Structures are given as structure tokens and as C-alpha cells.
Amino acid sequence: MFHRRQFLSLAVLGGAGALAVSPTSAAGPAPVSTNARIVIVGAGAAGAALSNRLVRRFDGATITIVDPSQAHIYQPGLSLVASGLKPANYVVSRTAEWLPDGVTLVPEAVAAVDPENRTVSTSGGQTLAYDFLVLAPGLVLDHGAIEGFSLDMVGQNGIGALYAGPEYAAKTWAAADEFTQTGGRGIFTRPATEMKCAGAPLKHAFLIDDIARRAGNAGKVDMVYAAHNDTLFGVPIVSEKVRMLFQDRGIAPVYHHVLKAVDAGRKVATFTTPDGDQEMDFDYLHVIPPQRAPDFIRQSGLSWGDKWTDQGWVEVDRHSLRHLRYPEIFALGDVAGVPKGKTAASVKFQVPVVEDHLVAAVEGRDGDAAYNGYTSCPLITRIGRAMLVEFDYNNNLTPSFPGIIAPLEELWITWLMKEIALKATYNAMLRGRA
């Protein structure tokens, strides 16, 4: 049994994703003197975390961050908003709040990257020259790829879409809450593309099922999870655990079902399947759209040419996160073309790798840090219980607290990490201290 003091000790260590907080008083390496021009595209988790670390590593560098968004979204909290456990403002802060002194924020969108001439063009007409470029713009939620669907539908006719942001996560809860009370068929989807936090669709299904049960309405709801392939999760042992939990709770998986179209008026969802298009009636439908790199990445020639060609992720070495054809360019977070790593916990492990290689490049040497594909998912399975699932490129489970927290057990301590500790450690990461 854990006691409060033991939990707080784990919280300091970092909770889900091993987001360990570095002591602010710890002496770091002496700053490197340089006049290098460093441009970071994106001021989200990856861009903010890296900028805070780089201002401590360099003396004299010009560091510019390009991002049009005034709001920073704590994306791990969206699933809590969409299940009525947190208000929408829980996940919102100001972008500028997380950026250090010594960097310049250009509050514009990127229009183009010219890797040959080493420039970034902005929507406001600026041209920024760089010696090193870090691409961390996040990804595009391609809601338009789903026929008949638009975000103004969210919250009406039983339709949810928590990924789209705090406003839509709150509207998702409004639709889901009604479903848990009145019952009917709930369909929970995920796209066939790579996606951020692949556990989020599962979390939402588990939470809505649990909320219906707590309301005494388990017999009223018919829960269906539409998997895009023949598994429920990319790590086989985790997929099997989820299958067992689904079986225990009466959540029915259907495999090789990819959402193609939504008819909100008829409450019918159309899925692409190996046997052709299939329609399913719904009373609640959770939509997660296909996801891809921003257009300027795809148009710049920086995407992979032989894989993920429909999605456009940046062509980087999976261990150094350095571009394979343009060594002065790195990619972080969602946009990086690596087999794993579209979570905040992955960003925590990726940022020091890019930092190491960037500093080494400025000093004219090779970096030696390597990203092993670490990804973490505090997989909520009911209110008050979650599994801390951590794994690497090879689908090996990589528990941060072996012997203390079993990765495939539903534990309240993991729930507390997700619900309480994770945001604090996430914020520490943004400050470059985790």
C-alpha cells in the first residue's frame, strides 16, 4: 500500500513518462560562446523546452521561435476535460509564459522553409536566416478528410472530438455526458495514420464506459471501439491487456474499421473496411481525424520520400533526430518521422538529444546522445485507476519504477500521477528543468 509521503516522492521523481525534475541549483556545463542563428519552429512543448535549455547552453546565440498561437495547450489534459473531470481552462496558458528571456518570439505562422538557402519565411512576410533549424510545429488534425464532418458539429447530435482543443473537449463532454445518461450505441474511433498519444482513444472509451456504469446505466450503453487495424495498441502485450479489459467490460472491438464519413442528421458513421464501406448507427460518436505534417513541411522537401508519404513526417535519423539530408536541421515531437514518439513524455526524452547534437555541431564535433523511442502513456482505464505504459522503439516495456509500479496493472497511484503530478512535471519540462 502506498502512503501519501511515498506518492509525493514519486511525484517529485516525475510521474508518468519519468519526467524527472532537475534541481534548479545544479551546476550545468559552461555556456558555449557562439554567434549561431538558431530558429525553432513551434513554441509548444518541444519548442519551449528546447529554448529554455539552449539559452543556458549558449552565450551569444540568436534564438528565434516562430509560432502564431498565443495560447499554450496542455494536451495531456484534454482527455480529462472531455470526460468532465477538468474544466476547459485547466489546459490553457499563455505561450509567452513558458519562453525564456533571451529568445525572440515571432508570432506568425511559417509559410515556407528553404533548406538550400537556410531560410524560414513567415506569413507576415519576414525571412529568417538560420544556421540551425529545429522543426517542432506539431501536426495537423485533418478533420476535412472525413466526409460530412466539421468541427461545428462537435457537441451536437452525439458527436465528440476531444483532440481539437479545450473548447471542443468541453463540447465533447456535453455530448458524452448525455450519452452516459440516455444510452444507446457509442462508437470510439482512431485514424489509420500515425497519431499523437495513441492511448487517448482508449482512455476516452474506458472513461465514458466507467461514467455510464457509475450512473447505473451500464445496461443502457452499447460500447464499440473501431480499431484501424487488427490490434488495439501498437505494443502487442499492451494490446492484449486492453482486449482483456474490453472483454471484461463489454466494450466490443471491431477491427480494420477506419472512419470515412459522418451523416450527423441520420446519426450514421461510414467506415472503410476490407469488405467495403460499412455503415453503423450511433448515439455517440467520438471522432479522431487523420493526422499529418503541416503543409510547409511537405512542400519544403523535408519529408520522407519512401514512407509516410501521405502524412509527410520529417525525414530524420530515429536516434539523433537530425535530418538525413540537411544536417543543420532537426525535428522534435509530433512532426518527427520516427516510429514512436508523439507524446509529451517522448518530447522530454527527445529534447536533450537535440540539445546535445546542436551544441556539438556548434563546437564542431559529433554529438553522442541517442533517442531510443521512449514513449509513455498513462492509460486511464476507469476513474481512479490507470496503467503506466512505457515502451521503446522495439516495443520493450521500459518501466520507470520497476518493482514499485507494475506497467500493466490498474493502479490508483498511476491515476494520481496522471491527474495530479503529470501537469507539474510537464510544466517543469517546459522550463527545461525536466
Judge whether residue 409 has pLDDT over 90.
yes
385 falls within a domain: no
pLDDT band at 4 (very low <50, low <70, confident <90, very high): very low
Same domain, 123 and 161: no
Mean pLDDT calculated for residue range 234-252: 97
Strands 375-382, 37-41: pairing is unpaired
| Residue 211 and residue 298 in one domain | no
In angstroms, the CA 332 to CA 51 distance is 12
Please give the tally of structural domains in the chain: 2
Instruction: Say which DSSP state 418 is in.
Output: I
- What CATH number is attached to the domain comprising 277? 3.50.50.60
Stretch 138-144: mean pLDDT: 97
Check whether residue 297 and residue 178 sit in a common domain: no
**C-alpha dihedral (114, 51, 293, 142), degrees to nearest 10:** -130
Is the confidence at residue 95, as pLDDT, over 50? yes
Q: In terms of domains, do 226 and 260 share one? A: yes
- Identify whether residues 180 and 206 lie together within a single domain: yes
Q: Based on the fold, state whether residues 224 and 250 are members of the same structural domain.
A: yes
Final residue in a domain of this structure, among 334, 363, 392: 363
Mean pLDDT of the chain: 93
Q: Which residue has the cell 524527472?
A: 20
Please check whether residues 226 and 201 belong to one and the same domain: yes
Pairing of strands 110-114, 119-122: antiparallel
Same domain, 210 and 324: no
User: What integer is the mean pLDDT of 352-364?
Assistant: 98
| Maximum Cα interatomic distance, the chain, rounded to a whole number of Å | 67
Of the pLDDT bands very low, low, confident and very high (cuts 50, 70, 90), residue 27 is: low
The pLDDT of residue 26: 53
Domain containing residue 186:
143-291
Question: Does the residue 80 lie in any domain?
Answer: no
**In terms of domains, do 301 and 263 share one?**
no
Question: Among 315, 343, 363, which residue terminates a domain?
Answer: 363
- CA proximity to 44, closest of 333, 417, 386, 391: 333
* Mean pLDDT score, 310-337: 98
| Whether the Cβ atoms of residue 322 and residue 330 lie closer than 8 Å to each other | yes
pTM of the model: 0.94
Same domain flag for 207 and 231: yes
